[in-house]
Structure 1
Amino acid sequence: MRFNMLQLLKSLRSRSRGKEITDADIMNWANRKVKSTGRSTQIESFKDKSLSTGLFFLELLSAVEPRVVNWNLVTKGESDEEKRLNATYIISVARKLGCSIFLLPEDIMEVNQKMILTLTASIMYWCLQHAAEEGEVALSPANGNGSTYTSDTSPAPSISGEDERSSLCGEISSLTMDDAASDITVSSSQCENEDTEIATAESHA
């Protein structure tokens, strides 16, 4: 389990371009995420006893993926049973998103600092990874949502097609004119030959 935790934190550092991620960085990120949704819940450390209710993590999960939390299933987290229900639901929702989960409901209820840190880091890593994947999709030529990549390249075939059609029309027009000129030249030559033959016949007469 410790190896998995270390791998997760290593992956998290790679997502932050090699910057050393501290516990404070992870906590501040989580607080900012929750605050960005207009909620006022904040934590002071990963030992914060208020974490036992599970409400902060449910708000965090809702912040990174709106509508993923069914608030009808969330309790106030006042009794041990309510805390257990919330903790179990947190793990279920996080796994549904694809987060790497190494903790048990008891770890949330008892505010196990290391496991709480790992849970938060896992949600943070998923959020960063998800954002990166969305960016890649936006740059995909198969995407028709007017992305930067599409807008830069998609007009090219259309413009090229117009140019080819215009060029082709121009070539056809040019060939037609050349043929017409050729016909005129031939007709003129034929007239000259006929005049010569008439003049020769008259001189013999």
Structure 2
Amino acid sequence: MFKKVGRDIKETQAEEFINSTSDKETDDNTTKEKVIKIAFKIPKEVRKNIRKMIKGTVYLKKYYPMILKNDLTYFSDEDIINIYMTAKLQNISMRDYVRIKLKLTKPQEVQFVTYPAERDLVIEQIELDKIDKDIITQKAKNLNAPVMHYGCIKMTAYCELIFSQLELELLREEAQKNNLSLKEYLSKKINEEL
């Protein structure tokens, strides 16, 4: 009697193990089907800067989707595209262009830059689920930009459009005077003619 119970337990454990393993394999296959790869271009220098910013916290390939699918704190995607295009035409960085528009820098203090040529861009491939891929693709489509180009601009903006604490305090005061949120105020200032 004692041996028989032991066999039943072993048989039950074996069945549970087989069932649990086959379920896991099915789950893995389902997950693999959900993972989609997309590619975008990124300037080598920007890639290096992002790597420095997140060093020791999260893998680069996991961080890219967060940047691509979320809006930047202070700028909409439309503003970023406008900033990039205008700054590129003037051969100045996005950072300097924004600072001139916000009167944080004088035009004569700006250094001219050369935007990266095709050979200076690295193609990054990231894996995401279908929902994230659809979000990123839709954001690019809303801006009439290919995902490759959208990724390049968004990553560059992420690195360059950063303010110091003092600058943020000054900008928030100006936004409050105009009864606007900081994001609305920045968008208004960026898009108004000089």
* TM-score in terms of structure 1 length: 0.28
Structure (1 or 2) with the greater helix fraction: 1
Higher RCO by CA contacts (8 Å cutoff, separation 6 or greater) = 2
Q: Which has the larger radius of gyration?
A: 1
Structure (1 or 2) with the greater strand fraction: 2
* TM-score in terms of structure 2 length: 0.29
